[in-house]
């Protein structure tokens, strides 16, 4: 079983979108038994809060339910628990490297590195553009699934 943890700053927009998109993709592929998928935050700002309403609406537009998800913070124990820790942007990756400085098992990655256009997932917190974030997350998760 491959265990994937998606990570962003607050765990209310991008990383939960990636979590639930990936869960949807593996379900549609009939591969749920092969994966455990979750998400977490690098910060403590949003702990316990649900998925941000515009992100929830964007997922719902595509038939994806994220009800019950609340933000949680990345912990030291996550490095051993998860096979892949996938950040949404360079700041997330930098914070993950601070928490897991050695990364001996090469577990830390960016989601867009699994696409033909490596870089960062667009952050809708500042732009309000959840469509671009949706497209980035979908492309990244499709690429990740194809890689696995």
C-alpha span between 90 and 13 (Å, rounded) = 16
CATH number, position 97: 3.40.50.2300
Q: What is the pLDDT of residues 34-92, one digit of tens each?
A: 999 999 999 999 999 999 999 999 999 999 999 999 999 999 999 999 999 999 999 99
Radius of gyration, alpha carbons of the chain: 14
As a whole number of Å, the end-to-end CA separation of the chain is: 11
Number of independent structural domains in the chain: 1
Residue among 14, 66, 78, 141 flagged as catalytic: 14
C-alpha span between 36 and 133 (Å, rounded) = 23
pLDDT of residue 27: 97
In this prediction, residue 147 has a pLDDT band, given cuts at 50, 70 and 90, of very high
Active site residue 98: no
Residue among 8, 13, 66, 141 flagged as catalytic: 8
Reading the block at residue 138, the tokens are 């979908």
Active site residue 8: yes
Model confidence at 126: pLDDT above 90: no
Q: Which range of residues forms the domain containing residue 39?
A: 2-147
Residue among 24, 89, 123, 136 flagged as catalytic: 123
pLDDT of residue 29: 97
pTM of the model: 0.97
């Amino acid at each position: 079983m491959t265990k994937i943890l998606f990570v962003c700053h607050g765990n209310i927009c991008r990383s939960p979108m990636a979590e639930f998109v990936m869960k949807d993709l593996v379900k549609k592929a009939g591969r749920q038994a092969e994966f455990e998928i979750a998400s977490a935050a690098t910060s403590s700002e949003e702990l316990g809060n649900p998925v941000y309403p515009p992100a929830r609406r964007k997922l719902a537009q595509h038939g994806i339910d994220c009800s019950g998800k609340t933000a949680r913070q990345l912990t030291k124990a996550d490095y051993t628990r998860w096979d892949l820790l996938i950040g949404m942007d360079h700041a997330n990756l930098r914070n993950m490297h601070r928490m897991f400085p050695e990364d001996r098992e090469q577990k830390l990655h960016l989601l867009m590195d699994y696409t033909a256009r490596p870089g960062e997932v667009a952050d809708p917190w500042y732009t309000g553009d959840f469509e671009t974030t949706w497209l980035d997350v979908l492309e990244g998760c499709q690429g990740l699934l194809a890689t696995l």
